[in-house]
Amino acid sequence: MTTRDLAELARIAEAASDAARREILPRFRDVAVEIKKDGSPVTEADRAAERAIRAVLRDATPEIAILGEEYGAEGAGGRRWLVDPIDGTIAFSRGLPLFGTLISLLEDDVPQLGLIDLHVLGERTVGWRGGGVRCNGEPVRVSQRADLTSAIVAHGDAYGFEAFGEKDAFLALARDLRMFRGYTDCFGHALVLGGGVDAMVDLSLNAWDAAPTQVLVEEAGGRCVTLRRERNDYPLGVVFGSPPLVEQLLGYLADPR
């Protein structure tokens, strides 16, 4: 795909996120919560938003497959959209504004474009290979800080470290870092892309959680290392942000692969 192709596909992803917002915001702080078989929460807003996203993507790009968190796989081929209609459903379900929509496009399993839309905060970050990264139209860059002692490092939930076999890493980071902060889900990812947070360690993810960040961080001048575990659920982890900090953070992990 050319840069021009990706720019057009990014506009389609933005239109799909607009459709999701129309389903999500009226339900914010006014929605019932269910628990899925894997123990994670889901709401009608998650389902309605994914249906809206799929409708836009299907209409604009019928030749591209779709894989979403709530409704699974649709179509086949080397290119596919990945969709997480509400990343941070726990926050959404508790009335916290720190959630968003994730949309990415993969070609032969390699992320080519990514979108993180923090609807309540009104901050949309989007970018693609060769096109850089912008938040609300303004270019953003990842921090280049090299001193871990003065860095702000975000992390996902502690149970994600434990489930990934990295509980000791969490305890060591909490012990050693002055500013090790729980900015979870796509909210934390967006903070790293904007440079306000210097790096992040986020473990126990699915492909739709990680794919936008995998492309956006590199396009914004940072480094993203993807970790994999042989698990049925949540097999991925990402360590990303300022390149020198990522290298130091990997040293805390028992298995930095």
- The helix/strand count (H/E) of the chain reads as 8, 15
* 23-72 pLDDT, tens digit each: 999 999 999 999 888 888 899 999 999 999 999 999 999 999 999 999 99
Question: If pLDDT is split at 50, 70 and 90, which confidence band does 230 have?
Answer: confident
Average pLDDT, the chain: 96
239 within 8 A of 250, measured Cβ to Cβ: yes
State how far the Cα of 28 lies from the Cα of 144, in Å rounded to an integer: 36
Q: How far apart are the first and last CA of the chain?
A: 29
> Which of 104-108, 178-182, 211-215, 253-257 comes out lowest in average pLDDT?
253-257
Q: Which domains does the chain have, with CATH numbers?
A: 3-139 (3.30.540.10), 148-250 (3.40.190.80)
Specify the pLDDT at position 134: 98
Specify the pLDDT at position 36: 86
Rg (CA), the chain: 17
Specify the pLDDT at position 232: 62
Instruction: Tell which wins on pLDDT, 214 or 257.
Output: 214
Burial class (CB in 10 A: 0-12, 13-18, 19+), 125: buried
Q: What is the mean pLDDT of residues 69-92?
A: 96
* 128-185 pLDDT, tens digit each: 999 999 999 999 999 999 999 999 999 999 999 999 999 999 999 999 999 999 999 9
**61 to each of 34, 56, 70, 78, 131, how far by Cα in Å?**
32, 8, 20, 13, 20
* 169-212 pLDDT, tens digit each: 999 999 999 999 999 999 999 999 999 999 999 999 999 999 99
Question: If pLDDT is split at 50, 70 and 90, which confidence band does 7 have?
Answer: very high
